[in-house]
Structure 1
Amino acid sequence: MIAVPGFEGQKVAVLGLGRSGRATVRSLQAGGATVVAWDDGADAASIAAGEGIALVDLTQPGTFEDIACLVTSPGIPHLYPAPHPVIAAALAAGVPVDNDIGLFFRSLGRADWDRFDQAPRVVAVTGSNGKSTTSALIAHILTEAGREVQLAGNIGRGVLDIDPPEDGGIVVLELSSYQTELARSLTPDVAVFTNLSPDHLDRHGGPGGYFAAKRRLFAEGGPDRCVIGVDEVEGRFLAGQLSEGPADDRVIRISSGQKLGGPGWAIFARKGFLSEYRKGRQIASVDLRSVAGLPGAHNHQNACAAFAVARTLGLGPRPIEAAFHSFQGLPHRSQLIAEADGVRFVNDSKATNIDSARQALMAFRKIRWICGGLQKEGAIDPLLEATGQVRKAYVIGREAAHFAMQLKGLQVDVCGDMATAVARATADAEPGDTVLLAPATASFDQYDSFERRGEDFAAEVEACLATRATVKG
């Protein structure tokens, strides 16, 4: 646990008592703060009360008269489309609002770090797509190299729930726009920007606000090294703002699909090969085509980002390449869950927006595509441009018929639920086909998370294949 200093003898309020919220309470108490907490959900509040956390209804008038700071969970709106009433009350009372990420960075450095031969370092990864895989891949590479690594944030453990890093320890954080927008302290040693595509626009007041939330990690954090995906204009703009000139190797530009030139430091993947260039010369190359845990161009971009971070931290190309091959990938992200009679079944339930689903569709051939759910803002035209390998779409969700109407030019089967979609796709599939779950939508119309949707897909595939095996037997 990371103890949070600076609030000794003061009262701090915590809003939201999920896993990270309860860890925040414990960390503040360990630093000497008096903590009062609240959650609108009865279940979360009950769990917190069972752990001895003092509950105070923060919605009551006058609550913030003696509060030094409000710490809120990332899922709670603090600005758009409207602040949560508790946050609005705190702001009206002039009380600072922070989150666990901000507390982590203000608490990390300790006086006893002077005894370390090598100070701990923090790698922070943000972006629209690929940040989970990139974060996990960085942690895997460093672990394989014998480094002390902890994975936290949106993946792994809560950021305040990790152990204080020791001599040479590395903390890898996956950070969402919700976290980077609000954190009052952001000071990573290495920061990664994977890419940007429309997402969470209601929470950020549009695409400009969304990009600004991501940009804070770099503009306010002042990392020693920045790894920037430049396949979108926002990434190119950010890289240009951060570098002093074309040869400034504090900024490492990465790409999937285009060769990057110039005198600076660049890492890119084309046609399945990763290349590293410095000062206009190629200094390393990795064949990614046989790396089973990183299929498709979008995962090759993740590989470029992780390669760049590992090189920044002193690893050579060959150990990184070896670690690529032992990486198993993450659940619900281009995850091969079964193969039978020449048909592959791939779970990419994490493809919750148009761009991530488009990348998934570009990674496979002869696709039986299971899609649909709670549709987000924006047209799906960019997604349709990547459907050349789709043999048929099987649409799920409460508004399956509406989503199906937008899939112009495709053969479509409106299924409604996962069991029907898997059964029909499996029955139609031929050797060489891939049954791919890449919804392009949020899960919340039928599931409480993308993980639960992916687990349901895997269960239905298992049941369907078992029934087919019984019939054949």
Structure 2
Amino acid sequence: MIRATTFAGKTVAVFGLGGSGVAAAQSLVAGGADVAVWDDGVAAREAAAASGFKVVDLSSADWTTFAAFILAPGVPLTHPEPHWTVVKAREAGVEVIGDVELFCRARAMVAPKSAFIAITGTNGKSTTTALIAHLLRELGFDTQMGGNIGKAILTLEPPAQDRVHVVEMSSYQIDLTPSVHPSVGVLLNVTPDHLDRHGTIEHYASVKERLVSAADAAVVAIDDKWTGQVAARLEDSGRLYPITVGRGAVLVPRLYAIGSSLFVHEKSGSYATSEEVVQLDGIPSLRGAHNVQNALAALGALRALQELADRGEVELTVNGVPHRIWDIERIAQALKSFPGLAHRMEQVGQTDQVLFINDSKATNADSTDKALSSFQGDIYWIAGGRAKSGGITSLAPHFGRIRRAYLIGEAENAFAQTLEGQVDYVRCGSLEAAVTAAAHDAGLERGCETVVLFSPACASFDQFRNFEERGDAFRRIVEMLPGVSKSRGTV
């Protein structure tokens, strides 16, 4: 655990008692703070009280006694309107921050030159975060991974000169981290998402930009409008590491791809050379154009971190001995052993001719675009849930690959209207009904391999608590089908 000693002897309020909120309260208590916790849910408050926390009704509390207010990232800060606790905090002049801010302050106090890589973007950030952490571990570094993936950040081991923190950050978390200052910030892409929480895409993009603007080195994918603009603003900073998958970038990239081959562009004085790092063909966990970008971003983060270490701006040691990151041969081998992520293009079962793919993490159309483009055809597609802005109209170029769609959740009718006359579809309502129908239809094909692809293009909150629960449900349903053998891995 990381102890938040920066609030020792002070009173701090915490709202939202999910994983990150409870971890924040524990960290503050361990650091010597007097902590008042609250949640809108009775069960969460009762659990906190049973764990020994001081539960205080923040609606009637004296906010002038609080030195800070720790808000869970899922609670509205600005849009559609600030949560009532945020209003009270602002009226009392109390700063509103999140758990990652507590980590950043702890790092600044105990190990300001320790390596800290922060990753954001609309899509791909979890895979990129996991890939960076995997590479660093394979290279021998003590690597801590968390934030918006896996463990709450304050449950990790504390910052130290021989430890690297790799942290996924959502836009919500960035909004609550005013002093964020990573060694390396990574921005993958910006597409319309979470606009109910940010109001406009311009505001959403500006929040993402904050992360890389504050970093010692900024790895920015320059292949979409918004990230291209961010890179242009950082071009003269001397901190920019542009990456591109080869879409006619204006800036000279530090890393780029030709097909699935990844190259690094090295500069030395007036000379420049390009060197191939790895060929991704044959690495199942990094299949598809989206993973080319994810792998480039991971390589960019390692290259940037090495150069920061060369300049003495970060400390990279193993057992107290300086240790290099940038070793192309070892990096290439480590890429080949990356296992991939659960719920992201995860193969969870198969029959003689049908693959069952769990892509529950695809919570918007842009993410599902990557999944659909990974298969040539014969796709039996399960989609639906709580739709995001724009629905699935952007997926029209892939409709020819889809044999039939199986629609579930709140988006069922809206998706049916989009698919009408273009893709054969069935309204299924529930995930279980959709899987059963898709498995039956895919099994009728003869002479070719078919894919039952669960890539919802929607949030999960209409029928599930989160995409993990939704993906686990898909896996269980598939494993109960007759003739299906269990399998794990990504494709």
TM-score (norm 2): 0.89
Q: Secondary structure at the match of 1:171?
A: strand
- Tell me if 1:374 matches 2:386: yes
Q: Aligned equivalents of 1:238 and 1:463: distance in 2? A: 48
**Alpha-carbon distance change, 468 to 130 in structure 1, aligned in 2, over 3 angstroms:** closer
Give the AA of the match of 1:76.
V
* Aligned twin of 1:15: 15
* Aligned twin of 2:87: 88
* Aligned twin of 2:345: 334
Q: Aligned equivalents of 1:89 and 1:357: distance in 2? A: 40
Give the AA of the match of 2:481.
C
Give the AA of the match of 1:266.
R
Cα shift at 1:140: 0.3
- Tell me if 1:391 matches 2:403: yes
* Aligned twin of 2:361: 350
Cα shift at 1:251: 1.4
Cα shift at 1:176: 0.2
Question: Which digits, 9 at most, give the CA deviation of each residue in 1:401-441, with x for residues without a partner?
Answer: 33212124111122221222112211222332111111111
* Aligned twin of 1:307: 299
Q: Percent identity?
A: 40
Cα shift at 1:340: 1.6
- Tell me if 1:269 matches 2:269: no
Once structures 1 and 2 are overlaid, which stretch shifts more, 359-368 or 266-275? 266-275
* Aligned twin of 1:55: 55
**Alpha-carbon distance change, 468 to 451 in structure 1, aligned in 2, over 3 angstroms:** closer
* Aligned twin of 1:283: 275
Give the AA of the match of 2:4.
V
* Aligned twin of 1:39: 39
Q: Secondary structure at the match of 2:387?
A: coil
- Tell me if 1:410 matches 2:398: no
* Aligned twin of 2:245: 256
Asked if the contact 2:141–2:164 (Cα under 8 Å) also holds between the matched residues in 1, the reply is: yes
Q: 2:464 aligns with which of 438, 442, 447?
A: 447
Question: Which digits, 9 at most, give the CA deviation of each residue in 1:30-85, with x for residues without a partner?
Answer: 2222111101111211221111000000011x520211111111001111101111
* Aligned twin of 2:191: 197
Asked if the contact 1:258–1:268 (Cα under 8 Å) also holds between the matched residues in 2, the reply is: no
Q: Aligned equivalents of 1:8 and 1:457: distance in 2? A: 45
* Aligned twin of 2:30: 30
Q: Aligned equivalents of 2:385 and 2:209: distance in 1? A: 30
Give the AA of the match of 2:64.
E
Give the AA of the match of 1:343.
V
Q: Secondary structure at the match of 1:369?
A: strand
Q: Aligned equivalents of 2:211 and 2:454: distance in 1? A: 32
Asked if the contact 2:116–2:165 (Cα under 8 Å) also holds between the matched residues in 1, the reply is: yes
Q: 1:316 aligns with which of 327, 350, 360?
A: 327
Cα shift at 1:309: 1.3
Q: 1:224 aligns with which of 206, 209, 216?
A: 216
- Tell me if 1:105 matches 2:86: no
Q: 1:238 aligns with which of 230, 233, 251?
A: 230
Cα shift at 1:191: 0.4
- Tell me if 1:325 matches 2:336: yes
Q: Aligned equivalents of 1:261 and 1:205: distance in 2? A: 30
Q: Aligned equivalents of 2:64 and 2:484: distance in 1? A: 64
Structure 2, gaps ≥5 residues long: 307-324, 487-491
Q: Secondary structure at the match of 2:386?
A: coil
Q: How many residues align structurally?
A: 457
* Aligned twin of 1:131: 125
Q: Aligned equivalents of 2:470 and 2:153: distance in 1? A: 26
Q: Secondary structure at the match of 1:460?
A: helix
Q: Secondary structure at the match of 1:378?
A: coil
Q: Aligned equivalents of 2:414 and 2:391: distance in 1? A: 13
Q: Aligned equivalents of 2:66 and 2:410: distance in 1? A: 44
- In the TM superposition, 1:139-158 aligns within 5 A as 139-158=133-152
* Aligned twin of 2:156: 162
Give the AA of the match of 2:153.
V
Q: 2:482 aligns with which of 454, 465, 470?
A: 465
Cα shift at 1:379: 4.5
Q: Secondary structure at the match of 2:284?
A: coil
Give the AA of the match of 1:133.
T
TM-score (norm 1): 0.92
Cα shift at 1:156: 2.4
Structure 1, gaps ≥5 residues long: none
Q: Aligned equivalents of 2:365 and 2:346: distance in 1? A: 18
**Alpha-carbon distance change, 401 to 361 in structure 1, aligned in 2, over 3 angstroms:** same
Question: Which digits, 9 at most, give the CA deviation of each residue in 1:126-161, with x for residues without a partner?
Answer: 000010010000000000111110001011221111
Once structures 1 and 2 are overlaid, which stretch shifts more, 136-145 or 384-393? 384-393
Q: Aligned equivalents of 1:412 and 1:379: distance in 2? A: 16
**Alpha-carbon distance change, 50 to 194 in structure 1, aligned in 2, over 3 angstroms:** same
Asked if the contact 2:349–2:484 (Cα under 8 Å) also holds between the matched residues in 1, the reply is: no
Asked if the contact 2:350–2:485 (Cα under 8 Å) also holds between the matched residues in 1, the reply is: no
Q: Secondary structure at the match of 2:166?
A: strand
Asked if the contact 2:115–2:161 (Cα under 8 Å) also holds between the matched residues in 1, the reply is: no
Q: Aligned equivalents of 2:450 and 2:274: distance in 1? A: 37
Q: Secondary structure at the match of 2:286?
A: coil
Give the AA of the match of 1:271.
G
Q: Secondary structure at the match of 1:387?
A: helix
Q: 2:439 aligns with which of 418, 421, 426?
A: 426
**Alpha-carbon distance change, 354 to 318 in structure 1, aligned in 2, over 3 angstroms:** same
Cα shift at 1:103: 1.4
Cα shift at 1:373: 1.1
* Aligned twin of 1:183: 177
Q: Tell me which of the two structures has the higher relative contact order, counting C-alpha pairs closer than 8 angstroms and 6 or more residues apart.
A: 2
Asked if the contact 1:346–1:434 (Cα under 8 Å) also holds between the matched residues in 2, the reply is: yes
- Root mean square deviation, CA, Å: 2.0
Give the AA of the match of 2:412.
A
